[in-house]
Amino acid sequence: MSNPLPSVLAAIECDRAPALARLFDWLRIPSISMDPSFALDCARAAKWCAVQLGELGFSANVRPSTGNPMVVGHRKSRTPGAPHVLFYGHYDVQPVDPLSLWRRPPFEPHLEDDGLNGPMIVARGSSDDKGQVMTFFDAVRAWIAATGDVPLTLTVLIEGDEEADSIHLDTFLRANAAELSASLTLICDSEAWDRSTPAITISLRGFAGVEMTISGPSRDLHSGDYGGAAINPIRALTKVLGELQDANGRVQIPGFYDGVSDPSAATRDRWQRLGFDPEVYLAEAGLRNPSGERGRSLLELIWTRPATEVNGIWGGYQGPGVKTVIPAEASAKLSFRLVPGQDPAAIYAGFEQFVRARLPPDCRLTLRAFDGTRGLAIDPSTPFLALAASALEAEWGVPPALIGSGGSIPIVSAFKDVLNMDALMIGFSQADDRAHSPNEKYNVTSFTRGTRSWARVIAALAG
Amino acid sequence: MSNPLPSVLAAIECDRAPALARLFDWLRIPSISMDPSFALDCARAAKWCAVQLGELGFSANVRPSTGNPMVVGHRKSRTPGAPHVLFYGHYDVQPVDPLSLWRRPPFEPHLEDDGLNGPMIVARGSSDDKGQVMTFFDAVRAWIAATGDVPLTLTVLIEGDEEADSIHLDTFLRANAAELSASLTLICDSEAWDRSTPAITISLRGFAGVEMTISGPSRDLHSGDYGGAAINPIRALTKVLGELQDANGRVQIPGFYDGVSDPSAATRDRWQRLGFDPEVYLAEAGLRNPSGERGRSLLELIWTRPATEVNGIWGGYQGPGVKTVIPAEASAKLSFRLVPGQDPAAIYAGFEQFVRARLPPDCRLTLRAFDGTRGLAIDPSTPFLALAASALEAEWGVPPALIGSGGSIPIVSAFKDVLNMDALMIGFSQADDRAHSPNEKYNVTSFTRGTRSWARVIAALAG
A333 in contact with B, Cβ within 8 Å: yes
Best of B246, B311, B409 to substitute, by most chain A Cβ atoms within 10 angstroms, is B311
**How many CB atoms neighbour CB B419 within 10 A?**
18
Q: Shortest Cα distance from A403 to chain B (angstroms)?
A: 13
Residues 6+ apart with CB under 8 A from B426: B186, B187, B188, B190, B198, B199, B200, B201, B388, B392, B400, B453, B454, B457
What's the half-sphere exposure (Cβ side, CA atoms, 13 Å) at A411?
A: 28
Phi, psi at residue A171, to the nearest 5°? Answer: -60, -45
- Low-confidence winner among A126-140, B250-264, B312-326, B446-460 (lowest mean pLDDT): B312-326
With a threshold of 0.90, does the pTM exceed it? Answer: no
Q: Shortest Cα distance from A356 to chain B (angstroms)?
A: 16
pLDDT at A226: 94
- Taking 90 as the threshold, does the pLDDT of residue B136 lie above it? yes
pLDDT at A289: 95
- Taking 90 as the threshold, does the pLDDT of residue B353 lie above it? yes
Q: Are A406 and B226 in contact (CB under 8 A)?
A: yes
Q: Shortest Cα distance from B30 to chain A (angstroms)?
A: 24
Distance between CA A115 and CA B326 in Å, rounded? 33
Q: Residue B367: name the closest of B410, B343, B334, B336 by CA.
A: B334
Q: Residue B330: name the closest of B223, B230, B237 by CA.
A: B237
Q: Which residues partner with A338 through β-bridges?
A: A206
Residues 242-261 of A with CB under 8 A from B: 242-245
Distance between CA B213 and CA A114 in Å, rounded? 38
B228 in contact with A, Cβ within 8 Å: yes
What's the half-sphere exposure (Cβ side, CA atoms, 13 Å) at B56?
A: 29
Q: Which of A241, A317, A370 sits opposite B333 (nearest CB)?
A: A317
Provide the 8-state DSSP code for A436. Answer: T
- Taking 90 as the threshold, does the pLDDT of residue B373 lie above it? no
Residues 6+ apart with CB under 8 A from B84: B152, B153, B154, B155, B182, B183
DSSP SS3 for A237: helix
Q: Which of A217, A235, A331 sits opposite B245 (nearest CB)?
A: A235
A318/B335 Cβ within 8 A: no
Chain B: residue nearest A284 by CA? B218
A226/B302 Cβ within 8 A: yes
pLDDT at B165: 82
Strand order in the sheet with B119-122: B110-113, B119-122, B441-443
pLDDT at A125: 97
B227/A307 Cβ within 8 A: yes
Q: Shortest Cα distance from B355 to chain A (angstroms)?
A: 13
Radius of gyration of chain A (CA): 25
Residues 6+ apart with CB under 8 A from B218: A285, A286, A287, B328
By residue count, chain B amounts to 463
Phi, psi at residue A153, to the nearest 5°? Answer: -80, 130
Chain B residues touching A403 at Cβ < 8 A: none
Give the DSSP H or E segment for A56. none
pLDDT at A23: 98
Average pLDDT over residues B270-290: 94
Fold observed for domain B206-260+306-373: Alpha-Beta Plaits (3.30.70)
Q: Shortest Cα distance from B243 to chain A (angstroms)?
A: 7
What secondary structure does DSSP assign to A88-141, as a single string? EEE--B----SGGG-SS-TTS-EEEE-SSSSEEEESTTIIIIIHHHHHHHHHHH
B288/A223 Cβ within 8 A: no
- Taking 90 as the threshold, does the pLDDT of residue A168 lie above it? yes
Q: Are A418 and A214 in contact (CB under 8 A)?
A: no
pLDDT at A1: 58
Distance between CA A180 and CA A74 in Å, rounded? 9
Distance between CA A437 and CA B436 in Å, rounded? 48
Q: Are B338 and B258 in contact (CB under 8 A)?
A: no
B214 in contact with A, Cβ within 8 Å: no
Distance between CA A394 and CA A428 in Å, rounded? 15
A139 in contact with B, Cβ within 8 Å: no
Distance between CA B183 and CA B406 in Å, rounded? 26
Q: Residue B296: name the closest of B306, B283, B284 by CA.
A: B306
Q: Which of A219, A242, A360 sits opposite B291 (nearest CB)?
A: A360
Q: Which of B285, B314, B325 sits opposite A230 (nearest CB)?
A: B285
Residues 287-306 of B with CB under 8 A from A: 287-293, 298, 301-302, 305-306
Average pLDDT over residues A358-383: 93
- Quick one: pLDDT band at residue A290, thresholds 50, 70, 90? very high
Residues 402-421 of A with CB under 8 A from B: 405-408
Report pLDDT digits (tens) over B75-99.
999 999 999 999 999 999 999 988 9
Chain B: residue nearest A288 by CA? B362
The C-alpha torsion from A98 through B223 and B354 to B303, rounded to 10°, is 80
Report pLDDT digits (tens) over A75-93.
999 999 999 999 999 999 9
Say which CATH architecture domain A206-260+306-371 belongs to: 2-Layer Sandwich (3.30)
Q: Sign of the C-alpha dihedral, residues A386, A390, A395, A396?
A: positive
Residues 191-210 of B with CB under 8 A from A: 205, 207, 209
Chain B residues touching A234 at Cβ < 8 A: 241, 310-313, 332
Report pLDDT digits (tens) over B206-263.
999 999 999 999 999 999 899 999 999 999 999 999 999 999 999 999 999 999 999 9
Residues 6+ apart with CB under 8 A from A66: A168, A171, A172
Please provide the average confidence, as pLDDT, over all residues in chain B: 95
Chain B residues touching A230 at Cβ < 8 A: 282, 285, 287, 290-292
pLDDT at B98: 86
A310/B232 Cβ within 8 A: yes
- Quick one: pLDDT band at residue B409, thresholds 50, 70, 90? confident
Phi, psi at residue B76, to the nearest 5°? Answer: -90, 135
Chain B: residue nearest A321 by CA? B370
pLDDT at A322: 82
Distance between CA A450 and CA A157 in Å, rounded? 19
Residues 6+ apart with CB under 8 A from B275: none
Q: Which of A227, A311, A370 sits opposite B309 (nearest CB)?
A: A227
What's the half-sphere exposure (Cβ side, CA atoms, 13 Å) at A31?
A: 31
The C-alpha torsion from A298 through A303 and A305 to A310, rounded to 10°, is 90
Distances in Å between the Cα of A266 and the Cα atoms of A19, A383, A402 are 40, 17, 12
Please provide the average confidence, as pLDDT, over all residues in chain A: 95
- Taking 90 as the threshold, does the pLDDT of residue A324 lie above it? no
pLDDT at A97: 86
Domain boundaries, chain A: 5-204+375-462, 206-260+306-371
- Residue range B5-204+375-462 forms a domain whose CATH class is alpha beta
Percent of chain B with pLDDT over 70: 100
Helices (H) and strands (E) in chain B, counts: 15, 18
- Taking 90 as the threshold, does the pLDDT of residue A323 lie above it? no
Distance between CA A203 and CA A340 in Å, rounded? 9
A245/B242 Cβ within 8 A: no
A137-A139-A140 Cα angle (round to 5): 65
B223-240 burial, b at 16+ Cβ within 10 Å, e below that, comes to: bbbbbbbbbbbbbbbbbb
- Taking 80 as the threshold, does the pLDDT of residue A213 lie above it? yes
